[in-house]
Every structure is written in C-alpha cells, then in structure tokens.
Amino acid sequence: VAVTQISRFRVSNCYLVEEDDGLTLVDTSFRGSAATIRRAAAQLGAPITRVVLTHAHHDHAGSLADLRARLPDAEFSWSAREATLLAGHHEPEPGEPRGRLRGSLYERSGVVADRLLEDGDRVGSLVAVAAPGHTPGHLALFDDRDGTLVAGDAFLTIGGLFVTTEFRWRFPFPALSGTWHAETALRSARRLCSLEPALLATGHGPLLRDPARPMREAVARAETSRRWG
C-alpha cells in the first residue's frame, strides 16, 4: 500500500501517498502539525511534492500556511469551491442547495492554490472525486493504482463506519465537523461506494480494508435514519 496515515492526537488524520517523484500529502491536520508531517515524510525518505486538501475545515487545513512556507517547491491544490471558503467567502453559489456551513473553517490565511481542482483531475496518481455534502466543495482522492480511497470527511471510521450525516451526533468535536447538506452528502457517499475501493482512509478513525460492503451498509443506514427521523 502506498498510503501512510498520520494521526494527530488520535483524532484527526492526514495522509502521505507515495509517488515516483516523492510524496503527496492529503490534508494538513490541525495548526501546529507541520513538524509531525515533515518528520513522517523524512521517515519515508522522500520529499513532499504535492499538497492537496479534501476540504477547508480547520482540522484538515490548519497547517496549510506553515507547510506552504516550508515546502516552497510543492504544488498545492484543492477545489475551486473550497478556495472561496478558504478566502473567507460564505455566500452560496448559484444553483447550490441551501446548506448551512458548519464546523470551523480555516480562512484568510492568504495561501493561494497553485491549481484549482475539478472532478476527474489528477494529482499525481490520485483522481479528484467531487464529493460535496460535508462542505460544498469537498473532494475525495482515489488512487487507481491500488484502490485506496482517501475520503476526507465523506465517511468516518471512529467506532465503526459512518456517513458523516449519521455520525454528526456522536462526533467528539462538533465544532470541527458537522455537515453542510445531508442529501448531497448521501449522494456523494453513494458515488464513492461505486468506486469499490480496496482501502478506505478517512479524516477521523483508522484505515479500513475491503470497505466497499460496509460503506454501502453505512449509506443504507444513513438513508433509513433520514427517512424515519
């Protein structure tokens, strides 16, 4: 497997994905995580050549400015929609469902992406998969070499496997999480199931091997709980 999980305080994860030309970092965890991340990269013996964000919440983007300063040669990318959140703009976009932005956003750091990602774009070996719902521009990253899905907060693996919509009542740090639009999140979760991943890497919780079936079950459960209350 080409993915290494870096867990901060056993709460929030980011990932290093091995590439021929170095490492791709998916998410940056809380503020103050840059040294831990760079140490993990050094242990893998390769430079961080790309940094990609799943979404703009603080527990995923918090060390962005520090890493930008320390990794001047790396390419930084995230979705265009999350770029508006990172810039501090909260207005809905035309045609977007009405959601409420929840969770603590990492804003106005001044860090600008080198590349804005659309669904289907490639970041090294990872394919950007638009997975809105938790936030409006949330991305998942799929490694089609080995079927690893870095799902961000579309799914969670704390105490079982959950779609974020279902998990919000149990989330240990509600201020950091919460879902912008539940129906959209469920649609995205269903789409991620269809990738039939071999390994699921979430923003919170351990890696999960052969997740396709439990992912489908989690989506079905979340759909039922929405329908009945």
* Angle in degrees, CA 17, 177, 96, rounded to 5: 90
Give, in order, the Cα–Cα distances in Å from 154 to each of 22, 23, 113, 140, 151. 26, 23, 22, 8, 6
* Residue 82 makes contact with Zn ion by CB under 5 A: no
Task: Figure out which of the listed residues 8, 38, 50, 57 binds Zn ion, where binding follows CB under 5 A.
Answer: 57
- Per DSSP bridges, beta strands 199-202 and 148-152 are parallel
* Residue 81 makes contact with Zn ion by CB under 5 A: no
Nearer to Zn ion, 66 or 153 (CB): 153
* Residue 143 makes contact with Zn ion by CB under 5 A: no
- Per DSSP bridges, beta strands 208-209 and 199-202 are antiparallel
Q: Cα separation of 161 and 215, whole Å?
A: 7
Q: Which amino acid is at 76?
A: F
Q: Taking the complex as a whole, how short is the minimal distance between the CB of residue 198 and Zn ion, in angstroms?
A: 24
Stretch that binds Zn ion, among 45-53, 93-101, 145-153, 215-223 (CB under 5 A): 145-153
Stretch that binds Zn ion, among 43-51, 54-62, 123-131, 204-212 (CB under 5 A): 54-62
Nearer to Zn ion, 25 or 41 (CB): 25
Structure-token pair, residue 142: 């799929």
Q: Taking the complex as a whole, how short is the minimal distance between the CB of residue 129 and Zn ion, in angstroms?
A: 16
Q: Could you give the string, one character per residue 162-201, with x where binding to Zn ion holds by CB under 5 A and - elsewhere?
A: ----------------------------------------
Q: Cα separation of 103 and 114, whole Å?
A: 25
Task: Figure out which of the listed residues 18, 27, 153, 166 binds Zn ion, where binding follows CB under 5 A.
Answer: 153
The side-by-side arrangement of strands in the sheet containing 148-152 is: 122-123, 126-130, 139-143, 148-152, 199-202, 208-209
Nearer to Zn ion, 57 or 81 (CB): 57
* Residue 204 makes contact with Zn ion by CB under 5 A: no
Q: Give the residues lining the site for Zn ion (CB under 5 A).
A: 57, 153
